[in-house]
Chains A and B, each alone.
Chain A
Amino acid sequence: MINIDDLAGKTGEWLRGTGPDSDIVVSSRIRLARNVAGRPFLTVASHKAKAELEAQIREGLEGVNLGKGRLYVALKDTSPVDRQFLMERHLISRDLLNAEGDRGVAIAKEESVAIMVNEEDHLRIQVMRSGLQLEEAWREIDRIDDEIAAKLPYAFHALHGYLTACPTNAGTGMRISVLLHLPALVMTRQIDKVFQALSRINFSVRGLYGEGTQASGNFYQISNQATLGKPEIALVQSLSDVVPEIVRFERHCREKLAKEQRTALEDRVYRACGTLKYARSISSEETMELLSAVRLGSQLSLLPEIKPGTVNELFVTTQPGHLQKQEGRPLSPQERDLARAGLIRGRLGGR
């Protein structure tokens, strides 16, 4: 039986830095919101109802093929550090972390499959892949969803489709998110153009670590806004069409930087790398900023010794939950800055 500690030694499939367009597209994710028919939504569910729901869903999921290495984490009995750790790995949401009562997450297939239980909806099924692989993610989640539907009757409406606690998710219940690293668009001040173009065609853009448009580490998440009125495959197609356009634009700006502002670019990349390799104490904020430059440098062959996967991984493993899990005890912010600097030095071959 595997547990959370077994996850800590490895990284999820989506962080590998492989897959199509993975120099810019970090991951592709599809999430389906589902509720069990005949049960109250979590908005009004009592403690008893929540406990019953969790038990019913866990039992239903047992017969479903989620892939290898599956694990269920009952979050009520989990330490705050472990919950934080799961959130940093994108396996649970902030809302599920902060929620109370019976709830959990089923994880499988090297973390590429995660099913949150008793979040805002009874089930939030998620499939994640590294790089741009939306069709593959859709085929997998569609199959898992069918298998779950055979075990648990879903709340479904003849006209409105899958019913969700929040009307913004009704219909397909499907949210597609593509995580992009766009440092060159930010540096060349083209990012606002992209935002405007995307919002005109009804996609939402947000910084990975925030709700606003100011993203730390230049990571941006693009998602569909409407979930009702189009078939799932059309929603997948609409992102599959638009993401390559952004990728091309980012690549164009990277080439331009490398040609026209070579020295400034090299200065930025090598300074970032130097600081990360030798710093003794570093905040998560500075880490994000510098890792972003190193990631760009490694993609532009300025830092051939650094593997893309290593950088991707550091964005996650330098976060507070991961550091505390690694040290095996709670750390103060100052202690975290020391531990963070040590971890980075080790991974980047500094001293």
Chain B
Amino acid sequence: MPSKAKSCETCHENPATVHLTEMANNHVVLEKHLCDQCASKQGIIGKMQMSLVAELLGNIKDKQKGAAKEADVRCPDCGMLYSEFRAKARFGCSRDYDVFQKHVLALLEKIHGSTEHVGKRPKGAPKALPAAAKGAAEVPGPKGPAKAAAKAPADPVAELEKELEKAVKGEDFERAAKLRDRIREAKARKEGKE
């Protein structure tokens, strides 16, 4: 039984898993079917990932048209310009997170729905900043009012209850039952601590 999957146009060996269509004037001008390996060699997968972040960055920029023509910022440590970061979608060093701060806050919010790490910390690492010190008013909020909710300090119970509400709405009762169990556990844990 021959397989129905197309094979890669470049190596003619692996199955084509990356399918690209390039459009011009509403007409398909180029269709490409490549395997993961050949797409990666041709830099296509990297480009796809970059374009996601670039697109998010583009959206953020549009929302900030009021503050147009602001000067390009450069990181004093690695020399990267904000405009370069936008093009590459990769930071040059850890300081860039602070140098491009207001863009970074909006970008993280868009990607993760949050800007605040609540997971493990290396021993001796600084504790999280208090909410007041984060300059919430300066954050270019991509989501408007929704952002306030997303930025609330992570309370596991509240988080679970939100998920539970979603599950019930989606009639996913199995998940809802599981979530109820976890909420009960989380509450018990909380009370145990206090």
Q: How many residues on A have C-beta within 8 angstroms of the other chain's C-beta atoms? A: 70
Please indicate the chain A residues that have their CB under 8 angstroms from the CB of B175 in the complex.
241, 245
Quick check: is A74 within 8 A (CB to CB) of the other chain? no
Starting from the known contacts A94-B36, A160-B97, A216-B5, 10 additional A-B residue pairs (CB-CB under 8 Å) come to A158-B127, A164-B91, A167-B104, A168-B53, A171-B112, A207-B17, A211-B18, A211-B39, A230-B114, A275-B1
CB pair A150 B123 closer than 8 Å: yes
Which residue, of B3, B120, B129, has the highest number of chain A Cβ atoms within 10 A? B120
Please indicate the chain B residues that have their CB under 8 angstroms from the CB of A21 in the complex.
none
Measured CB to CB, the closest approach of chain A to B6, in angstroms, equals 9
CB pair A228 B117 closer than 8 Å: yes
A selection of 25 A-B contacts at a CB cut-off of 8 Å is A35-B94, A39-B93, A40-B92, A41-B78, A41-B90, A43-B88, A43-B91, A95-B40, A120-B90, A154-B122, A160-B116, A165-B91, A166-B53, A167-B111, A170-B108, A170-B117, A210-B35, A214-B16, A215-B17, A228-B114, A229-B115, A229-B150, A230-B159, A271-B1, A336-B13
CB pair B13 A156 closer than 8 Å: no
CB pair A159 B128 closer than 8 Å: yes
Given contacts A167-B53, A211-B45, A288-B15, contact A162 B91 (CB under 8 A): no
* Interface 9-mer from A50-58, A278-286, A302-310: A278-286
Partner of B17, one of A145, A200, A216, A272: A216
Q: Which single residue of chain B is at the shortest CB-CB distance from A120?
A: B90
Given contacts A170-B108, A245-B175, contact A159 B5 (CB under 8 A): no
- Beta-carbon contacts of B113-133 to A below 8 Å, as 1s and 0s? 111111111110111110000
Measured CB to CB, the closest approach of chain B to A46, in angstroms, equals 11
In the docked arrangement, what's the CA distance between A241 and B174, Å?
10
- Beta-carbon contacts of B93-109 to A below 8 Å, as 1s and 0s? 11001100000100110
Partner of A284, one of B13, B39, B134: B13
In the docked arrangement, what's the CA distance between A199 and B176, Å?
18
Quick check: is B164 within 8 A (CB to CB) of the other chain? no
Given contacts A157-B94, A229-B114, A231-B118, contact A214 B17 (CB under 8 A): yes
Measured CB to CB, the closest approach of chain A to B157, in angstroms, equals 12
Given contacts A158-B125, A229-B114, A289-B3, contact A211 B94 (CB under 8 A): no
Quick check: is B79 within 8 A (CB to CB) of the other chain? yes
Please indicate the chain B residues that have their CB under 8 angstroms from the CB of A283 in the complex.
7, 13
Within 8 A of A (CB), among B111-167: 111-123, 125-129, 134, 150, 154, 156, 159, 166
Quick check: is A17 within 8 A (CB to CB) of the other chain? no
In the docked arrangement, what's the CA distance between A159 and B127, Å?
8
CB pair B90 A166 closer than 8 Å: yes
Q: What bracket does the count of chain B residues touching chain A fall in?
A: 35 or more
Given contacts A44-B79, A212-B17, A228-B116, contact A37 B40 (CB under 8 A): no
In the docked arrangement, what's the CA distance between A214 and B36, Å?
11
Please indicate the chain B residues that have their CB under 8 angstroms from the CB of A200 in the complex.
170
Partner of B112, one of A166, A227, A268, A271: A227
Please indicate the chain A residues that have their CB under 8 angstroms from the CB of B190 in the complex.
none
Within 8 A of A (CB), among B41-62: 41, 45-46, 48-49, 52-53
Quick check: is A333 within 8 A (CB to CB) of the other chain? yes
Please indicate the chain B residues that have their CB under 8 angstroms from the CB of A159 in the complex.
115-117, 128-129, 134
Q: Which single residue of chain B is at the shortest CB-CB distance from A217?
A: B15
Quick check: is B183 within 8 A (CB to CB) of the other chain? no
Given contacts A35-B94, A245-B174, contact A161 B117 (CB under 8 A): yes
Which residue, of A146, A230, A232, A275, has the highest number of chain B Cβ atoms within 10 A? A230
In the docked arrangement, what's the CA distance between A284 and B36, Å?
14
Quick check: is A172 within 8 A (CB to CB) of the other chain? yes
Which residue, of B5, B35, B78, B93, has the highest number of chain A Cβ atoms within 10 A? B93
In the docked arrangement, what's the CA distance between A214 and B15, Å?
9
Quick check: is A13 within 8 A (CB to CB) of the other chain? no
Q: Which single residue of chain A is at the shortest CB-CB distance from B56?
A: A167
Partner of B114, one of A211, A226, A284: A226
Quick check: is A149 within 8 A (CB to CB) of the other chain? yes
Please indicate the chain B residues that have their CB under 8 angstroms from the CB of A172 in the complex.
117, 119-120
Measured CB to CB, the closest approach of chain B to A269, in angstroms, equals 11
Measured CB to CB, the closest approach of chain A to B175, in angstroms, equals 7
Which 9 A-B pairs have CB atoms at the shortest separation, nearest pair first?
Answer: A210-B17, A229-B114, A161-B117, A228-B112, A289-B3, A155-B94, A44-B92, A226-B112, A216-B15
Given contacts A157-B97, A157-B117, A216-B5, contact A41 B14 (CB under 8 A): no
Q: Which single residue of chain B is at the shortest CB-CB distance from A272?
A: B1
CB pair B112 A41 closer than 8 Å: no
Quick check: is B2 within 8 A (CB to CB) of the other chain? yes
CB pair A171 B13 closer than 8 Å: no
CB pair B93 A228 closer than 8 Å: no
Please indicate the chain A residues that have their CB under 8 angstroms from the CB of B14 in the complex.
209, 216, 284-285
Measured CB to CB, the closest approach of chain B to A104, in angstroms, equals 19
